[in-house]
């Protein structure tokens, strides 16, 4: 038995005053209306109507149950209307997580344009390295570095997260410009302290570069190790040493001449970057709009 259908039929029987009239309203046969009523009474274990050949009358329980049916069916209709509104217009809170450097330098400025296009979407953004459970933490979409773990989540590839080795003009004036990867071992190299267990933890001590002779892993040392990419950037600007930082973080400084790119004939390591979200949430207009926006700006070109 379809309980909601049976309740709807019962309400129509009460409001129209007869099974025949209710059958017309519900586009059912009179027999089917009677079947719904009997199934409902059997389920409840109580009579809803006292029926005679001429008239029907609500039992005391039937009247109380009718009032409850109106409440339940009203809530169902309200829920359906709410779902229709949610499906039709991008609005509400959209929760996003992203890596700190990409989030602050690329995502945050772009979100201004996104908000202009979709002013009814409120953005709740968390920047951080730890991978959070999207479902458990109520996050709609995540931008993540590294190869995604097998899961039931959708992973849409974005452009790779690339790096640049650079230093300030003042540092290079004092210590010279490295022309070969092995020269880095004679320089003050400022390194990022990757958390324990991170697949890039080895990069903190050996910088991998690929050139004509293949890949080389250069041991690097310096006056500072720090677990903050913005802190590393500030130290490089101040002339403290050479850094290997995300392109997203240093692009503007390179354009402004505050930093100088080094060893450009060598290829540096990169990390895949993906847009991650649950498939069942993609039906939400606010999420669909953001996914399309992100893919247009940072989507990986198809080959």
- Return left, alpha or beta for 217; rule: phi > 0 is left, psi -120 to 50 is alpha, else beta: beta
Three-class secondary structure of residue 145 per DSSP: strand
- Percent of the chain, pLDDT > 70? 92
CA distance 95 to 286: 10
Residue in the block written with tokens 């041991």: 219
- Return left, alpha or beta for 132; rule: phi > 0 is left, psi -120 to 50 is alpha, else beta: beta
pLDDT at 303 > cutoff 60: no
CA 110 to chain CA mean position, Å: 16
CA distance 29 to 17: 16
Sketch the domain layout of the chain as residue ranges.
Answer: 3-88, 92-159+272-298, 162-269
92-159+272-298 and 162-269 in the same fold = yes
What is the per-residue pLDDT across 266-282, written as a single tens digit (0 to 9) for each?
Answer: 999 888 999 999 887 77
Q: Would you state the pLDDT for residue 198?
A: 66
CATH architecture of 162-269: 3-Layer(aba) Sandwich (3.40)
CATH of 3-88, one of 1.20.910.10, 1.10.1140.10, 3.90.79.10, 1.10.10.10: 1.10.10.10
pLDDT at 234 > cutoff 80: yes
pLDDT at 189 > cutoff 90: yes
**Residue 250, Cβ neighbours under 10 Å: how many?**
26
Three-class secondary structure of residue 237 per DSSP: helix
Q: Would you state the pLDDT for residue 199?
A: 66
Q: Would you state the pLDDT for residue 86?
A: 59
Nearest to 250 by CA among 187, 192, 165, 193: 165
CATH homologous superfamily for the domain 92-159+272-298: Periplasmic binding protein-like II (3.40.190.10)
CA distance 85 to 103: 30
CA distance 282 to 293: 14
Q: Would you state the pLDDT for residue 193?
A: 83
CA distance 102 to 271: 12
pLDDT at 180 > cutoff 70: yes
- 18 touches 56 (CB < 8 A): yes
What is the per-residue pLDDT across 147-161, written as a single tens digit (0 to 9) for each?
Answer: 887 777 899 999 898
Mean pLDDT of the chain: 87
What is the per-residue pLDDT across 41-98, written as a single tens digit (0 to 9) for each?
Answer: 999 999 999 876 667 888 999 999 999 999 988 888 777 666 655 566 788 899 999 9
Three-class secondary structure of residue 211 per DSSP: strand
Compute the average pLDDT of residues 263-267.
92
DSSP H/E element including 287: helix 285-298
């Amino acid at each position: 038995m379809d309980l909601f259908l049976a309740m709807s039929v019962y309400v129509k029987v009460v409001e129209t005053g007869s099974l025949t009239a209710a059958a017309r309203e519900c586009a059912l046969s009179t027999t089917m209306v009677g079947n719904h009523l009997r199934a409902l009474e059997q389920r409840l274990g109580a009579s809803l109507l006292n029926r005679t050949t001429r008239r029907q009358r609500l039992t005391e329980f039937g009247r109380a149950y009718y009032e409850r049916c109106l409440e339940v069916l009203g809530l169902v209709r309200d829920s359906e209307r709410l779902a229709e509104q949610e499906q039709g217009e991008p609005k509400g809170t959209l929760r996003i997580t992203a890596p700190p450097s990409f989030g602050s330098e690329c995502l945050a400025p772009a979100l201004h344009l996104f908000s202009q296009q979709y002013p009814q979407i409120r953005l709740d953004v968390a920047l951080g390295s730890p991978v959070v459970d999207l479902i458990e933490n109520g996050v709609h979409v995540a931008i993540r570095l590294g190869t995604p773990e097998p899961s039931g989540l959708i992973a849409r590839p974005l452009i790779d997260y690339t790096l640049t080795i650079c230093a300030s003009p003042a540092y290079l004036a004092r210590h010279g410009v490295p022309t070969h990867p092995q020269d880095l071992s004679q320089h003050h190299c400022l390194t990022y302290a990757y958390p324990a267990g991170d697949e890039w933890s080895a990069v903190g001590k050996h910088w991998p570069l690929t050139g004509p002779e293949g890949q080389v892993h250069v041991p690097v040392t310096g006056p500072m190790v720090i677990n903050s990419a913005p802190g590393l950037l500030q130290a490089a600007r101040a002339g403290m040493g050479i850094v290997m930082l995300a392109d997203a973080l240093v692009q503007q400084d390179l354009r402004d001449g505050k930093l100088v790119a080094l060893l450009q004939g060598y290829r540096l390591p990169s990390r895949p970057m993906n847009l991650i979200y649950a498939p069942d949430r993609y039906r939400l207009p606010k999420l669909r709009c953001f996914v399309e926006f992100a893919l247009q700006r940072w989507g990986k070109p198809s080959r």
